[in-house]
Structure 1
């Protein structure tokens, strides 16, 4: 259980760091864009970089959203069921999320590999780095779902979304 807690903390830290870095890049690109437009000449590459940073923000943030319950939930129905019904539905949901994301990892990697033959128009960046966000999103979601599954099986987690500090 202690090991799972360490893995969970590392996962959350890495996902937050990745999302934070992507958000920082997004902010800087938009700032350069706005200042450039004010001066009359905005660099073309800022549009592209903004889109790519947003993709990485979503890729890293997907697992965090799953942990906090910020993804679409049907709690009103699920939590009104009697007995172990809500727990079972949360487990089925985590298992299905894990299964689907793992199933899609190989096709997503094929999509990533296609990017070797392409470059972005403004930045000249190999599209592999952009397409990688699809695979990363699936991997982050799979890991978040697996952590929830293991936590529910070991009893260290009830599968309920993590409470945010302001809600505690």
Structure 2
């Protein structure tokens, strides 16, 4: 994996950690407030939803890389010859095309959010809607990386086990 993709992977992992820590703090504040205070802040539930959405968007590309996405290995790997490799390549190509095709719609969706605000936080919704841009860009980039690595012989397209991931 090139240094650029290692940096992108580290950025995604760090961003997921930050979103998870914010989510945890928000939930803890909500539980503490409901247990020990007269009123609980309503914005914590909305912030938690935003964090969950970003965790999913940032983690989709990493899940594709590590093999944590749903696979049909049972069928693909039982085929003879180069069929498994070809199907893995086809899957990566289709994922890249799908992600690339949806980037335009995700951009429109994000632009619509400029005119909307989150009810309890008051934040512009384009910050939340941008998670779809991140999702499709990350999926597309990781799929393109898999295609490149498969065509250059650097990788066979199989999922990368967690032990190699770290």
Task: Please name the residue that 2:115 is paired with.
Answer: 117
Task: Please name the residue that 1:127 is paired with.
Answer: 125
Equivalent residues in 2 for 1:83-94, closer than 5 Å: 83-94=81-92
Give 1:27 shift: 0.6
From 123, 138, 162, give the equivalent of 1:140.
Answer: 138
For 1:8 and 1:49, the matched residues in 2 are separated by: 29
**2:91 alignment partner, SS class:** helix
Distance 1:167 1:142, change over 3 A: closer
Task: Please name the residue that 2:26 is paired with.
Answer: 29
Give 1:17 shift: 1.0
4+ residue runs over 2 A deviation? none
Distance 1:166 1:139, change over 3 A: closer
For 1:165 and 1:65, the matched residues in 2 are separated by: 14
Task: Please name the residue that 1:5 is paired with.
Answer: 2
Give 1:167 shift: 10
Equivalent residues in 2 for 1:9-88, closer than 5 Å: 9-40=6-37, 41-88=39-86
What whole-Å deviation, never above 9, does each CA across 1:45-78 have from its counterpart, x for those lacking one?
A: 0000000000100010001110111111100000
For 1:8 and 1:81, the matched residues in 2 are separated by: 31
Task: Please name the residue that 2:101 is paired with.
Answer: 103
Distance 1:7 1:166, change over 3 A: closer
**1:157 alignment partner, SS class:** coil
For 1:107 and 1:167, the matched residues in 2 are separated by: 32
Distance 1:113 1:167, change over 3 A: closer
The TM-score normalised by the length of structure 1 is 0.94
Give 1:149 shift: 0.7
Distance 1:127 1:32, change over 3 A: same
- Structure 1 unaligned spans of 5+: none
For 2:150 and 2:15, the matched residues in 1 are separated by: 26
Give 1:8 shift: 2.3
Q: CA RMSD in A?
A: 1.6
